[in-house]
Structure 1
Amino acid sequence: MLSPGEITKKISEEYDRKREKARERESTIQFKKRRREKKEQQSNHQKTCEVREGKSYETAVDMNNNICSDDICEIPPPQTEQTCKELIPGVEYAYVSFDLETTGLGNDSEITQIGAAYIHDKSYSQYLLPSKRISTSAIALTGLTVAGSQMYKEGEPVPSTSTSEGLTNFLQWLSSIHKPVVLVAHNARFDANAFCRALITNDMNGDAGKVIQGFVDTLSLFRKERPGLCSYKQTDLVKSFIQTDYNAHDAASDAKALLQLLTSQNFSEHILLQHSFSFDSYISLLHYHEMVQKNSSSLMCLVNNKIISKMIMTRIAKSGLSFSHLLLAYKRDSQHGVLRLLSENTCEGKPRVTSNKKNHWKPLLLH
C-alpha cells in the first residue's frame, strides 16, 4: 500500500507519452495505408507460396488423404541469373596450358584429343574415341578420323581410349602436380565448354572440382595487354613473340606452344587472374543455360500461338519456370495462380517475370 516513488512516476509518465504518440501515429492516413499494404503483401506471399508449393504448404495437410502427385509437386522459386566469377588471389595456383580438339564447334561436340603442358617439361596427350561422327571441317584441321573402334591421325593409327577413361587419366595427371590447378587456354570459353560438358555427361565434375580451380583465357589476355596486333590467333602470336612455328591443331603441340608463349611474356599473376573464371561458377553457368534452354523449348508453343512474346518467354525461362509449371499454377488457382507466380518478388525485390495485371494469362493456359 506504499505510494509510488519519483522514479516509478517518471517511468509511468514516459510510457503514457509513448502510448499517446503511438495512438496519434496509428490514427494517421499514411499509417493505415501502410498497414493495409503490409497485410496485402503478407496475404499475397501466403497465396503465392500455396501456388508454388501446393498442398504441402496448406495447414492440416497430413489429415488429407486425397492428395495426388501434382498437389505436392513444388514449383521452383525464382532463379538468379548465373555469371562466371574470377578466381581469388592469394592461392598458389599451378598454371597448366591446355588445349582440346573436338568433333566440331557445336555445344554437342565431343573431345577427340586432350593436350596439356606444365613447367619442367611435364606434358600430357591423350586421344579420345568419340561416339559421334567427326565433322569434315574438324577432320581438315586436325587430321583425326575414326574407322570402327580405331582412331587415325593423318591416316596413321593412334592409341585412343573412351571419353570417361580419358578424362579420368587427365584428372589423375593433374593431381600429380599437387597444387590447385588453373587450366590456361587460348579462347578458353570454347575449351572449358567442351571439357565441362564432358565432365557433366560422365558425372565427373565433382571429382574434377577437387583438382581444377578454374580457367584463364589468353585470347582476352593478349587483346588487353598487347593491343594493336594484326591477329590474335595463337599461331600468329607465337610467330610474333617467340619467332617459331609449330604443329597447330594438335592439342599437345598447341598446349606446349602456349606455355612457351606465356613464359616469354612473364605476365604477373594479378593480370592472369583478371582473365580467369572459376570452375564451380562455370559448371553452375552450364546447368543454368541447360535449364533455360529446356524451359524455352517447352514455352515455344505459346510464342508460336502469339500468346506471349519471345522477350516474356525468355524472362519466364530464366526465372526457372517451364510450361508445366504454369499449368500447375493454373490448376491450383485458375483465377490468379499464374499471375501470382509471375509477379512473385525475387530476393532483389523485383517481379519474377512481370507484375502486369492485364488478363492475358488465362488464354495462355487454355491452349
Structure 2
Amino acid sequence: MDGNRVKKREKMSLPETKRRRLILKQERANQKDASEVSEGSTYQSVRQGAMPHITQIGAVEMESGEAFSTYVLPKISIEPGAEQATGKVYDGTSVFANGLKVAAVPIREALLNFLKWLSTLRNCEVVLVAHNGRVFDFRVLSNAVVRTGLQKQFLDKVSGFTDSLSLIRSKHKKT
C-alpha cells in the first residue's frame, strides 16, 4: 500500500498530470460560469421563466471581414449583473453602451436588418458562430426569432449554429 502511495505521488508531480489538472479545473470553472449565465443569480438570464431580451446583434463575415452591428431596445429591464458584464444599460427609453447613448431599434426591425445584411453575403452558406453560444446566445436568438414571427425568413438565410467552444474543445482533446 505504501508503494502505491509513492507511485501516485510521483505521478501527481509529473508536468503532464499537473497540466491535466489545470485543464480540468478550467473546464469546471467554464461550466460553472455557463451554468450561472443560463440559470444562476449572477446574471439571472432567465428570470421567473422570462427569456432575456437581445440588446445588440453583431456579426462579422469571416472572409471579407464585413461587419454588422445594431443595438436593440429591450422590452424588459436589463439585470444589474448583465449590465455590468455587457456595459449596456436600458433606462426604459434609451440604450447606453459603456455610458454613451446609442441608436437602438425594436427587435423585429433589428432582426429584419440583420437578415437583409445576411442577404448581401453572396455565395456562402450562413452558419452563426458564438463562443459558448449553445448555452445562451442561440437560445435567446431563437426565442427572439420565434417571438417576432420571422422563423421562415431566418431559416431561409441561416443554415445553422455552431458553438466555437465545442470546436475548440474538439480540436484540443485531452490525451
TM-score, length of structure 2 as denominator length: 0.68
Tell me the CA shift for residue 121 of structure 1: 2.2
Query: Partner of 1:31 in structure 2?
Result: none
Instruction: Identify the match of residue 219 of structure 1 among 162, 165, 173.
Output: 165
Deviations along 1:1-36, whole A, 9 cap, x unmatched?
xxxxxxxxxxxxxxxxxxxxxxxxxxxxxxxxxxxx
Deviations along 1:132-190, whole A, 9 cap, x unmatched?
01001110111111123211112210111000100000011011113331111111212
The residue matched to 1:138 in structure 2 has which SS?
A: helix
Query: Partner of 1:41 in structure 2?
Result: none
The residue matched to 1:111 in structure 2 has which SS?
A: coil
Query: Partner of 2:40 in structure 1?
Result: none
Query: Partner of 1:166 in structure 2?
Result: 110
Aligned-residue CA RMSD (Å)? 1.5
Counterpart contact for 2:127–2:158, Cα < 8 Å? yes
The residue matched to 1:188 in structure 2 has which SS?
A: coil
Q: Distance in 1 between matches of 2:137 and 2:127?
A: 13
Query: Partner of 2:86 in structure 1?
Result: 142
Counterpart contact for 2:77–2:92, Cα < 8 Å? no
The residue matched to 1:139 in structure 2 has which SS?
A: helix
The residue matched to 2:55 in structure 1 has which SS?
A: strand
Counterpart contact for 2:53–2:74, Cα < 8 Å? yes
Query: Partner of 2:129 in structure 1?
Result: 184
Instruction: Identify the match of residue 111 of structure 1 among 50, 54, 59.
Output: 54
Q: Distance in 1 between matches of 2:140 and 2:160?
A: 14
- Give, as a single letter, the amino acid of the residue that structure 2 aligns with 1:184: V
1:128 aligns with 2:77: no
Q: Distance in 1 between matches of 2:57 and 2:44?
A: 14
Instruction: Identify the match of residue 155 of structure 2 among 209, 226, 231.
Output: 209
Q: Distance in 1 between matches of 2:160 and 2:127?
A: 5
Q: Distance in 1 between matches of 2:160 and 2:170?
A: 20
Q: 1:155 to 1:162 in 2, by over 3 A?
A: same
Counterpart contact for 1:104–1:110, Cα < 8 Å? no
Query: Partner of 1:286 in structure 2?
Result: none
Moved >4 Å (runs of 4+): none
Q: Distance in 2 between matches of 1:215 and 1:148?
A: 31
Q: Distance in 1 between matches of 2:95 and 2:108?
A: 16
Tell me the CA shift for residue 104 of structure 1: 5.3
- Give, as a single letter, the amino acid of the residue that structure 2 aligns with 1:183: L
Q: Distance in 2 between matches of 1:104 and 1:111?
A: 14
Give the total of aligned pairs.
Answer: 126
1:97-108 map, 5 Å: 105-106=45-46, 108=51
1:190-201 map, 5 Å: 190-201=136-147
Deviations along 1:25-74, whole A, 9 cap, x unmatched?
xxxxxxxxxxxxxxxxxxxxxxxxxxxxxxxxxxxxxxxxxxxxxxxxxx
- Give, as a single letter, the amino acid of the residue that structure 2 aligns with 1:202: T
Question: Unmatched 5+ residue regions in structure 2?
Answer: 1-42
- Give, as a single letter, the amino acid of the residue that structure 1 aligns with 2:137: D
Tell me the CA shift for residue 213 of structure 1: 0.6
Question: Unmatched 5+ residue regions in structure 1?
Answer: 1-102, 229-367
Q: Distance in 1 between matches of 2:129 and 2:99?
A: 30
